[in-house]
Each structure stands twice: as C-alpha cells, then as structure tokens.
Chains A and B, each alone.
Chain A
Amino acid sequence: MTVVGDQVSGEVVAPEPPVEEEQSYAPPKRRTNRAWWLVVPVVVSVAFTAVIPLMTVVNYSVQDVFSPVDRVFVGLEWFRAIARDPEVHAALVRTLLFSLQVLLLEIPLGVALAVVMPRRGMGVSLALVLVALPLLIPWNVVGTIWQIFARGDIGLGGWTINNVLGINFNYTLDSTDAWITVLLMDVWHWTPLVALLAYAGLRSIPEPYFQAAQIDGASAWATFRHIQLPRLRGVLTIAILLRFMDSLMIYTEPFVVTGGGPGNATSFLSILLSKIAVGQFDVGPAAAFSLLYFLIVQVICYVFFTVLTRSGR
C-alpha cells in the first residue's frame, strides 16, 4: 500500500517566511554594504563638526581646569555634583513641561494652518511666504520683538491685554505671565515650521483621492481623518521630533525675553547651563552638565523616535 502523498504534503505546511518590517508596498530594501560609500561624506563632515568637539567636552568634564596648563583629573566628581543639584532637577522638569505644551499646541495648530492654506493660485505663494516669515528672523530678534510686544506700556500685545481685556499682565513680575509669554512666543515662532512641513506633505496627496472622497460625499473631517492625516504621518514624525528636540534646547528667545526669570520661572536647562558655563565660568561642571543634558535629551528622543517610527509600520 502506498502512502497518499497528497495528504502528507497537504498537512505539512511550510512556515511562512518571516515578514520584513517594511513590507508595505515595495520590494524589500536591497542589502548591500557598498551603500556605506554614499554615507561617507556625511560621516566625515559630522565627525569634524560634532565628534571632535564632543571629545573635547568629555575631556573637560573629568578635569578641574584652573588655567590652560594647570588642570587636575577629578573623575566623575562634576557628574555627581550636577546629578544631585536640585536646581538642575527643577530646570529639567520645567523644560520637559514646556516641550510637552509646545507639542500639544503647535502640532494641531500647524496642521490646521496647513489644511486651510490655499492649494492653488496666487494665494499659494503669498501664504507660503507669510507663514514662513517668523522662521526667518534671527532668534535673538524674535526674543527682542516679543520683549517689546508683550510689554504692558509700549507693546501692542501687553497693552491690549492690560487695557482692552482688563487683565493685569506683567511678564517681568509674574511667573505665570512670563511662562505664558515664552510659550506664546514659541508657538508664534515655530508653528509655521509644522505648517510648512505639513503643507508639503499634504501636497503629495494625489488630487484623485480628494475627488473620490467628494464623490463619496465624505465630510471635510472624514477627508481629513482618513485621507490627509494618514498621508501626513511621515512629515509629522519629522515635525514632532524636530519641535521636541528644539524645544528641549530652547535658549536664545527666552533668554532675551525674561533672562530665565522672574526668579527661576523660565530657567530652562540650557539657560541654567549657560549660567554655569559663562556666568560662573566653571568649565568642568558645565561640561559635565552639558554631557548629562545631551544624554537626557538623547534618551528621551530615542524613546520618542522608536515609538513614532514603529507605530506606523
């Protein structure tokens, strides 16, 4: 008697080949280490601008520098001091809180702005230029503008709040007001970045999608939710991460507006860092601080980065 071959082969199903992570639409990426040659210029330029300076900072962080020739190796002393400093902890919390608020305000606002921006005609150019304007002002000038703008006596913004709305607003005395001023300034300054990226993303959606949606009688919200938003994932990832990273490092603008005050109300990590580095000229602790700062930002961003890039795949 012979075995029924069909039955046997029918039962033993070969396991599916493991699915590639980026299986979506295209054939899998080609695996070749020759691609390294394409990356070499970037690696060289970054090595010169980032790695070498960073090594110097590491060098400083483990020494007590009295003068260029007189220095003592102190090990991890500075790191220990910085990590225990309550002022640093407070500044860290403040910075994180600020970043979260920035994201919550700027991302929806930016996308909304991008959606309502005109899609064709002369209005396109005009809208693009107008939206981009705040981005093109040097940061210290942004700070200066807002410093005047929010002033109660001669600034348009502050004057309006005080005299028209009747709210007593003074960012140099009240810490909440100072926080709001810096936050508003950041929203004003950076929402355009989100809007520009989102706009570029929206333009990549082929017109037929919208026509089809129209024929189906989809509402504006449904069109946005099911056609525009999914297509924005890539650029929004960039926008969110960029805004997150930059808001963690914000320095110039709040420094000009409030100088970190009143009290310590707007002392973010970077402002505290420069106080130690330039104000007190403690090179060692400043270097240790900046390395820890760098590390914290990286860890947070790494988590963020992996979450954002994995979730969509």
Chain B
Amino acid sequence: MATLMLPLLWMFGMSIRPNEDILGAFSLIPQRVTFDNYVTFFTDSAWYSSYLNSIIYTSLNAVMSLTVALPAAYAFSRFRFAGDKHLFFWLLTNRMAPAAVFLLPFFQIYQSVGLFDTHLGVAIAHMLFNVPLAVWILEGFMSAIPREIDETAAIDGYSMPRFFIRIFLPMIRSAIGVTAFFCFMFSWVELLIARTITSVNAKPIAATMTRTVSAAGVDWGLLATAGVLTIVPGAIVIWFVRNYIAKGFALGRV
C-alpha cells in the first residue's frame, strides 16, 4: 500500500516546489515550498477551463453509457435470443480496438456531422470503449442475482419496466456505482481520441498538460500540479460510490 503511494507523494512533492529545485538536485523533502504552480493553474483559463471540459464530457459519458448499457445488460443476463452470444462478444471486441485505429475516421466523421470540438462529441466517442465495458460489468453483477426474483415480481403483478426501476435497479445499485466509476475513470484518463476530436471548446485537461512541454523545457512543477488536481474529481466520485462498492450486493435480502 505504501509503495503504491510513493510515486504519488513524489508528484505532490514536485507540485509544491519551484522548477529549479526539481531539476537542480535530488532531494526527498522540498527545500522551498511554493504554491505558485497552483495559483497558475487556477488563474490561467486554458488550465481551468480544460479541467471543466474534462469533467463535463466525462460525466455526460458516464450517464449515457449507463443508460444504454443497463437494458442491454439485463437482456444478456436474463434472456436467450438469436445471436446473443455473438452479439455479446462483438460488443467486447470494440473494447479491444486500438484507439489509434479510430483517430482518422473519428476526425473526419465528427467534422462532417458537427460534433467536432463539443462535449457531446467526446462523450459519444468515449462510448466506444465504455459501453461494452458497462454492459459487461453490469451483466456479471446482474447474473449474480437469482432469476427467481424476476419471476416472483412478475407473479406479484409487476410489469417489466416497473419491476426494473422499482426493484431491480435498487438491488444492483452497487454494480451501477462501480460501473459509473469505471466509465468515469476510463473517459477521464483517455487522451488520444479526446485530443484528436477537440480543438478549443472541449479540450481535455490531459491535452492541456502536453502544453507544458515548450521550447524552454518541461514545466515539471506545473505538470505535477495538474497531475495532482486531475486525481481530485475521480477521488470525489469514488468517495461517493464507496458505499456501493463496500456494502456489497443486496443478494438474498429481498
């Protein structure tokens, strides 16, 4: 656990010292502490607006991915239908596609349909790998819930949609929490696609970070600061879903 934290602590250490000290000589504890890097981050609109951009499209992506994935995961876990197994695997294959493959086509298609450089555009593009993931994780969790529950509800007179929303969704809320977190995470850290299909308005934070590499060399301190701050939204998200991960599933409680 401690070794896990070392590089992060190191990064935090870098973010609160001036650049000369970072490059000057090795030292474990910062000699001079400065918050200039943080000030720069929050006063430069290029930094904080791209930070907001990332938050917007990531949240949008998580919501959209879950919305389409929930019914599909239910179908895969409860019914057998023509081609179900092939379809399931085909969905997964999209998770395996190297992002580099899609760069050029994405660029062209998004330009032509007007999704280029919009939050919605990035959110949709990231559904490429998040939807299969969401379906997959949700299916696994749903299959762990006995099918008898569906049948009991049907006998009790619940219609399918009502059963799904009133009984089933609350039962798998831990799974939804976990899935939302993973969607958020993968969308948050993805750079290649997000950078290709944005220019200004929806530019992600990760792309802004490459800006620190200038003719004068790398601004390590500012980069480390941005790195530290990129962890914050995710940490908040996982803080909120922690109970869902921790409580476990409502198996057998109904």
Evaluate contact between A235 and B7: CB separation under 8 angstroms.
no
B30 within 8 A of A: no
Evaluate contact between B81 and A42: CB separation under 8 angstroms.
no
A35 within 8 A of B: yes
Residue of A with least CB distance to B21: A154
SS class, residues of chain A in contact with chain B: helix
Q: Known contacts A38-B75, A238-B137, A301-B96; is A133 also within 8 Å of B235 by CB?
A: yes
A204 within 8 A of B: yes
Evaluate contact between B26 and A159: CB separation under 8 angstroms.
yes
Residue of A with least CB distance to B249: A204
Kindly state the interface size class of chain B when it binds its partner.
35 or more
Pick out which of these stretches binds chain B: A7-15, A50-58, A69-77, A213-221.
Answer: A50-58
What separation, in Å, do the CA atoms of A273 and B192 have in the docked complex?
A: 14
B42 within 8 A of A: no
Residue of B with least CB distance to A53: B105
What separation, in Å, do the CA atoms of A199 and B135 have in the docked complex?
A: 20
Contact digits for B21-50, partner A, Cβ 8 Å, 1 yes 0 no: 011011010000000000000000000000
Contact digits for B164-189, partner A, Cβ 8 Å, 1 yes 0 no: 00000000001000100100010011
Residue of B with least CB distance to A126: B242
A249 within 8 A of B: yes
B162 within 8 A of A: no
Residue of A with least CB distance to B143: A234
Question: Which of A42, A294, A302 is B98 in contact with, Cβ under 8 Å?
Answer: A294
Evaluate contact between B106 and A53: CB separation under 8 angstroms.
yes
Evaluate contact between A148 and B220: CB separation under 8 angstroms.
yes
Taking CB atoms, residues of chain B closer than 8 Å to A146 are 7
Question: Which of A130, A149, A205 is B5 in contact with, Cβ under 8 Å?
Answer: A130
Question: Which of B79, B151, B234, B242 is A124 in contact with, Cβ under 8 Å?
Answer: B242
Q: Known contacts A141-B230, A234-B143; is A192 also within 8 Å of B78 by CB?
A: no
A128 within 8 A of B: yes
Taking CB atoms, residues of chain B closer than 8 Å to A206 are 251-252
Contact digits for B61-76, partner A, Cβ 8 Å, 1 yes 0 no: 0001001110110111
Nearest CB of chain B from residue A305's CB, rounded to whole Å: 7
Evaluate contact between A135 and B242: CB separation under 8 angstroms.
no
B87 within 8 A of A: yes
Taking CB atoms, residues of chain A closer than 8 Å to B52 are none
Q: Known contacts A128-B246, A156-B6, A206-B251; is A38 also within 8 Å of B227 by CB?
A: no
Evaluate contact between A31 and B80: CB separation under 8 angstroms.
yes
Evaluate contact between B101 and A136: CB separation under 8 angstroms.
no
Evaluate contact between A124 and B246: CB separation under 8 angstroms.
yes
What separation, in Å, do the CA atoms of A191 and B4 have in the docked complex?
A: 10
SS class, residues of chain B in contact with chain A: helix
Pick out which of these stretches binds chain B: A22-30, A79-87, A96-104, A259-267.
Answer: A22-30
Nearest CB of chain B from residue A15's CB, rounded to whole Å: 23
Taking CB atoms, residues of chain B closer than 8 Å to A137 are 189, 227, 230-231
Evaluate contact between A31 and B97: CB separation under 8 angstroms.
no
B111 within 8 A of A: no
Taking CB atoms, residues of chain A closer than 8 Å to B230 are 136-138, 141
Evaluate contact between B93 and A290: CB separation under 8 angstroms.
no
Evaluate contact between B26 and A128: CB separation under 8 angstroms.
no
Evaluate contact between A153 and B68: CB separation under 8 angstroms.
no
Evaluate contact between A273 and B209: CB separation under 8 angstroms.
no
Evaluate contact between B96 and A249: CB separation under 8 angstroms.
yes
Evaluate contact between B189 and A156: CB separation under 8 angstroms.
no
Taking CB atoms, residues of chain B closer than 8 Å to A277 are 100, 103
Evaluate contact between A290 and B100: CB separation under 8 angstroms.
yes
Evaluate contact between B79 and A132: CB separation under 8 angstroms.
no
Contact digits for B230-251, partner A, Cβ 8 Å, 1 yes 0 no: 1101110011001001111101
What separation, in Å, do the CA atoms of A45 and B25 have in the docked complex?
A: 52
Most chain B C-beta atoms within 10 Å of own C-beta, residue among A26, A127, A153, A238: A26
**Other A-B pairs, 15, CB within 8 Å; known A53-B106, A242-B95:** A46-B128, A46-B131, A53-B105, A55-B105, A56-B104, A133-B234, A138-B205, A138-B206, A138-B227, A204-B248, A234-B144, A241-B92, A270-B100, A283-B104, A293-B101
Closest 3 CB pairs of A and B: A136-B234, A53-B105, A203-B248
